[in-house]
Amino acid sequence: MEERQGIHILVDELPDDELVAAKRFLEYLRFRSKDPLRVFLNEAPLDDEPMTEEDRAAIREGLAGKARGEVVSQEEAERLLLGSK
């Protein structure tokens, strides 16, 4: 239990700009041996491909659709696609 208390103290003393990194690392430790998918995703390389003009156009199109109100929630999309009420 002393180890856990020591970790709490360390977290409390972290500067605010380090909290995101600390949280991500603790989440990694929590799930690394429990969830094979999480392990796989955590160890996957970052997507370092440059963004293409096609990518940018797709993003602009999506943002324009959102601005026009053409976006539906995930629940609504599932209802429409699966035909449930």
What are 44-72's pLDDT values in tens digits? Answer: 898 889 999 999 999 999 999 989 989 88
Domain parsing of the chain, residue ranges: 2-43
pTM: 0.39
Length of the chain: 85
Tokens of 29: 């430790």
The closest alpha carbon to 43, from 56, 53, 33, belongs to 33
Mean pLDDT of 3-14: 92
Q: Are 72 and 80 in contact (CB under 8 A)?
A: yes
Longest dimension (CA), the chain: 56
